[in-house]
Structure 1
Amino acid sequence: MFGGPGGPSGEDQKKLQEQYAYDTLKLAGVVAGVLWVSPIVFHFIKRQF
Structure 2
Amino acid sequence: MGEVQVPADALWLAQTQRAVENFPISGRGLEPAHIKALALIKGRPHR
Which bin holds the TM-score, normalised by the shorter protein?
0.3 to 0.5
Which structure's relative contact order is higher, taking Cα pairs within 8 Å and 6+ residues apart?
A: 2
TM-score, reference length from structure 2: 0.35
TM-score, reference length from structure 1: 0.34
Larger Rg: 1
